[in-house]
Amino acid sequence: MKDHRLPQIDIPKFPLPHTIQEVLQEVEQRLVHRPKLSRLFRNCFPNTLETTTKLLEDGSTFVVTGDIPAMWLRDSVEQVIHYVPFAIDDVALQRILEGVIKRHMFYIQIDPYANAFNETSNDWHWNSADETESSPWVWERKFELDSMCFSFRLAYQYWKETGRTSIFDEHFKIALNTMLRVWCVEQQHAVLSEYRFQRHNGIMIDTLRKQGLGMPVNDIGMIWSGFRPSDDACDFHFNIPANMFAVVTLRQMQEVARDVYRDEILVADMAQLEEEIQHAIELYGMVDHPKYGRMYAFETDGFGNHVLMDDAGTPSLMSAPYIGYVDANDPVYLNTRAFILSEDNPYYYKGEMISGIGSPHTPPDYVWPLAFSMQGLTAVEPDEILQMIHLLESTDADTGFMHEGFHKDDPSIFTRDWFAWSNSQFAQLVWKALQLDILDKK
């Protein structure tokens, strides 16, 4: 929930890029028969640009999450990723997106273990008493494997949409090599890594056990992660969705290394790491469930122990097609999806009218709009996509925006009234439905 004691950042207004204005005008016309949905899209689609984006003098772009004055690597990418398809002929939008990429590469070079950063080296921290090797630039230093994946996901998708290669400068390559080095170290976390994290606030999902080292894992080839994409500590430190994302990232960055940098040594190094992680997922990341059959686990320690669940954030098991790891019709994924959307998933909450996926990050019985949006974004059947849009449209508590989570029996009880990631992902889902021509006059 929003902490009113947090420092605030001034976000100067700037004109919306012309392509974004054009999208808003188009959707207003196409959704004239759906005034509430039209209003939601008008609020949510530009929300990141209107309320969380700051253009800096060095040419980079700082993006706060909303009510927290820090830039999460993960959140900031998901806040802007829905703008990428419109950037090819929009110089103003190119400035914004290339600025986000530049900022990410800067942050990765400062600390590849951090998940969230400050605008300046102002020494602001989520918890100033954290026991870890931090920096005045770092807001929070929870090592989450997915964080750097998002940084390179944005760069790759931007390149593929626009063809612009100016983002791939020397700083980008340094950050790419930094990522690769850290991931190789964290394949053997207990032996090679100096990363430790402890937070003494009495909340065990906020800290790592065993004096900040984390619980033991086996040497199987996957990459260790201290925390989940929800910022909560892993139970078993091989998080499967994050390792899936790492596989995709390595595949995509091999294209950059080959086509842009012409660096076959870097290509080979990434290909080897990709193969090791993929092999480990196939050997240790799946289970044979008596009810659902062959499916993915959420976490494993490599010793045969697994966590069977899914979380509302991204990457999740639900999001595997969205991040590009697997086809939405893959049989193992479909088995996993059936488990996720059932009460066998400990974070699937069934309400009187609404059921959905929540997270240990919020109280029990709170379901997340992010999860409904992701269900729609990974759905194959139009009816399921429309069902998710209708559900989200009817649970905004008449605020005109999405939230972090809301109570399954009362959408007016919610967390975070300003959470830009959720707004962006909802807008992405509505745009998908419009592109599929399944929303007009429905």
Q: Could you report the per-residue pLDDT of 374-403, keeping only the tens digit for each? A: 999 999 999 999 999 999 999 999 999 999
Report the C-alpha gap between 181 and 333 in whole angstroms: 30
pLDDT at 4: 43
Q: Which residues contact 426 (CB under 8 A, 6 or more apart)?
A: 40, 44, 369, 373, 392, 402
Helix residue ranges per DSSP H, 285-394? 320-323, 331-340, 369-377, 382-393
Report the C-alpha gap between 79 and 423 in whole angstroms: 8
Per-residue confidence band for 441, with pLDDT thresholds at 50, 70 and 90: low
Does the pLDDT at position 442 exceed 70? no
Nearest to 186 by CA among 214, 160, 210, 162: 214
Domain boundaries along the sequence of the chain: 18-435
Average pLDDT over residues 240-262: 98
Does the pLDDT at position 6 exceed 90? no
pLDDT at 11: 92
pLDDT at 1: 36
Average pLDDT over residues 185-209: 96
Average pLDDT over residues 117-133: 95
* CATH classification (class only), 18-435: mainly alpha
Per-residue confidence band for 5, with pLDDT thresholds at 50, 70 and 90: low
pLDDT at 2: 37
For the chain, how big is the Rg over CA atoms in Å?
A: 21
Residue 366: phi and psi, rounded to 5, are -95, 125
Report the C-alpha gap between 433 and 21 in whole angstroms: 19
Q: Which residues are paired to 306 by β-bridges?
A: 300
- Distance (Å) of CA 150 to CA 153, 249, 297: 5, 8, 22
For the chain, the average pLDDT equals 96
| Burial classification of residue 28, based on how many CB atoms lie within 10 Å of its CB (0-12 exposed, 13-18 middle, 19 or more buried) | middle
Angle between helices 73-80 and 420-435 (to 10 degrees): 30
DSSP string, 234-251: PSSSEEHHHHHHHHHHHH
Nearest to 419 by CA among 368, 381, 372: 368
Average pLDDT over residues 163-183: 98
Report the C-alpha gap between 313 and 371 in whole angstroms: 7
Contact 124, 139 (CB under 8 A): yes
- Strand order across the 366-367 sheet: 366-367, 405-407, 410-415
Report the C-alpha gap between 251 and 294 in whole angstroms: 25
Contact 296, 240 (CB under 8 A): yes
- The CA-based diameter of the chain, rounded to the nearest angstrom, is 61
